[in-house]
Amino acid sequence: MEVTLKILRFDPLKDKKPRFQEYVVEVYEYTRVLEALIWVRENLDPSLSFRYSCRMAQCGSCGMLIDEVPRLACKTLIKDLGRDEVTIKPLPKYRVIKDLVVEMDDFFEKHRSVKPYLIRKNREEQEKPKKFYVQLPHELQRYLNYGYCIVCGLCSSSCPNFDSSWEYLGPQALSQAYRYIVDSRDEGFEERYEVLNSNSGVWRCHFASECSENCPKGVEPAQAIQMLRRMILSFSFKKKLSLFSEKIHRLSKQ
């Protein structure tokens, strides 16, 4: 079967604005979009740029907008799209470097800002752990699904909130914050609290839940954000209550 790939191309050195270029590719039942792109680059146009690495939905490099939906090119079967013309564009919400390659520095910076690693209150223990941290199966289940995130950026590129706020941390960073907070080995909630409760944090989400719909690994970022909200509300309430009781205590002593 022949399929036309309609690819949005942009070379900042040559083009003033993005343009579509079409390539006709012979595809089979199990041909994936990534394989078709590799074939185009090897046989028709070596100047076509796109990112990929593992080819098995593990590295998260080949995210792109396929038929207007953010998907991993290595995981998308062309026959599943059910069309003989497939439109491929770079992921939206990111700056295009060339063709289908986008700049993800800001995305990774946001990921880093929520401290996506285990934090212990005891710094010495953090640097030089002396024992294993035993974890029970039910404790693992609390975060396992969120641990499947491959940092591909599809969730953030599909989130409509980025259309009105670039500062928003986004579903990926927030779901990873949740993944570590609910980990029984982690004690870093208070360290992450400021950034999560900031203007760019969990309160920016308006629950379109497009992130969960488009996640190629079945992570549920939308759910993680709502659970984080609950935790933050509960923590803030307890904090305010303790401040209030301290104040009352002080006043009663005077």
Partner 1 sequence: MERVWKWFAIRGRSVNSIAYSFHRITGIVLLIYLILHLGFLTSLRFGESLYTAFISTTVKPETLPLDSLLFLATFYHAFNGFRVVLNEFGLFYEVRRALIYLMTLLTLIFWIYSTYLMYTYVVR
Binding site for partner 1 (CB under 8 A): 65, 67-69, 160, 163-164, 206-210, 213-214, 220, 222-223, 226-227, 229-230
Of 106 and 213, nearer to partner 1 (C-beta) is 213
CB of 209 to partner 1, least distance (A): 4
CB of 2 to partner 1, least distance (A): 24
By the 10 Å C-beta count (0-12 exposed, 13-18 middle, 19+ buried), 7 is classed as buried
Q: Per-residue b/e over 97-135, b at no fewer than 16 CB within 10 Å? A: bbbbbbebeebeebbebbbbeebeeeeeeeeeeeeeeee
* DSSP for residue 19: E
By the 10 Å C-beta count (0-12 exposed, 13-18 middle, 19+ buried), 80 is classed as exposed
Of 237 and 244, nearer to partner 1 (C-beta) is 237
CA distances from 153 to 34, 139, 218, 227, 254 (A): 17, 27, 13, 21, 56
CB of 69 to partner 1, least distance (A): 4
Q: For residues 41 and 50, what is the distance between their CA atoms, to the nearest angstrom?
A: 9
Of 61 and 161, nearer to partner 1 (C-beta) is 161
Of 122 and 164, nearer to partner 1 (C-beta) is 164
CB of 216 to partner 1, least distance (A): 14
CB of 177 to partner 1, least distance (A): 16
Residues in the chain: 254
Of 119 and 154, nearer to partner 1 (C-beta) is 154
